[in-house]
Amino acid sequence: MESHTPRGPTLLRRLSFAALFIAFSHILFGAVVRISGSGMGCGDHWPKCYGDWFPPLTEPTLVIEWTHRLLAAILIAVLGALLLAAWTRRSEIGVGGRGGVFRTAAFATVMVVATALFGAVTVKLGNVPYATAGHWLLATVLIAALAATVIRAGGLGGRSARVQPATTRIARSAYVAAGITLAAIMLGGLTAKIPGANVACQGFPLCRGEVITAGGALHTHVAHRIVALLLLLHISGMVMASRKRSEAAVVVNALRVTLALIVLQILLAAAMVEMHLPPHLRSLHQAVGVAIWLSAFTLAYLARIASGGSSLSPRIEADTTSIPPRDVAHGAPI
C-alpha cells in the first residue's frame, strides 16, 4: 500500500515543520497587526507598501504591517521548497499518491496564496469585520493543512499513530472537538474585530451586569464564551472516557495537551477581561487560541489514523518487508 511513513523523510519533515512554524508566527503577528491598529499601515496598497516593496520604515504601523507581509512571503518561499522536494520524491512511499505528503503540501500552497489574496481584498475593503473573519478562517485552514503535512511526514505523532490502535469512538469525538474548536476561534476573531464586542461583557465568567455594548456585539461575545465552555466540557469528557478504554497513547497525549491548553486559555481570558484587555494578554490569548486549534486538529487527525479511518492507517512500518512462503524441501520461494 502507499500509506507508510516515507523512506528518508528528514528533509520533508523539516520543511513541513519550518512551514508550520512560520505560518504560526505569521498568524500571531497578524494579531499584533490587529491589536496595534496597523491593518492599514501600508495604506490601501497591496502587495507593496505605499507603492514600494521596501518603504522607509519610519512609522510603527507601517513596520508592523510590512513585517506581517514579509512573513507571508517567507512562508510562500518555504512552501515552494517543500512542494518541490515532495514532487521530486513523489515516487517514494508516503510522498506521492493518496495519503502522501505531496497532496497536503500542494493544498497548503494553494491555501497560503488564497489567504494572501484574500488579505489584499481585506485591505481594499478597509479591514471590515467579516472580511477579516474570512481571512482568519483561511489562515486556520492553512494551519490545518500544514499540520496534516507534518503528520504525513511522520512528525507530531504521525509515525506512532500508524502502529497504535484507537477506537472509532474517540475518533468521532475528536472530529467533534475540532469542529467546536473552529467555531470557538472564529467567534473569538469576530469578538476581537466587531466594534464593541470585546468590551461588551465586563466580567468573568459572567458579565456582572456590566454590559457596555448590547445587540450583536454582546451576542457574539457571549456565544464565544459558551462555545469555549462546551469545548472544555467535551474535551474533559473525552479525557475521562479515554481512561476506561484502551486508546492509542499518541492520541491520549494529544488529548491531554489540548485540555491543558484550553484550561490555560480560560485562565488567560479571565485575566484579560478583569485587567481590561491589556494588549500583551490579548496577543497571548490569540496565540494560545491558535495553539488549541493546532492541537485539536492534530488530535482529530491522529485519532483518524489510529482508528483505521485514513489511508495512513495500516499498522506496518515503511521499512518492514514481508517474507514470501518458502518451499520446505528446496528452501526456495514458492
**Residue pLDDT, tens place only, 202-238:** 888 887 665 555 677 888 898 999 999 999 999 999 9
Amino acid occupying residue 75: L
Residue pLDDT, tens place only, 65-89: 888 888 888 999 999 999 999 999 8
Q: Are 79 and 108 in contact (CB under 8 A)?
A: yes
Q: Are 289 and 265 in contact (CB under 8 A)?
A: yes
Confidence of residue 312 (pLDDT cuts 50, 70, 90): low
Q: How far, in whole angstroms, is CA 13 from its chain's centroid?
A: 17
pLDDT, residue 329, reads 39
Cell numbers 501600508 correspond to what residue? 42
pTM, rounded to two decimals: 0.84
Comparing 279 with 81, the larger pLDDT belongs to 81
- Write out the three cell numbers for 199: 468590551
Cell numbers 507508510 correspond to what residue? 4
Comparing 249 with 56, the larger pLDDT belongs to 249
Closest CA to 256 of 174, 172, 176: 174
Closest CA to 250 of 164, 191, 332, 135: 164
Name 20's Cβ contacts closer than 8 Å, sequence gap at least 6. 143, 146, 147, 149, 150
Closest CA to 262 of 298, 220, 237, 293: 293
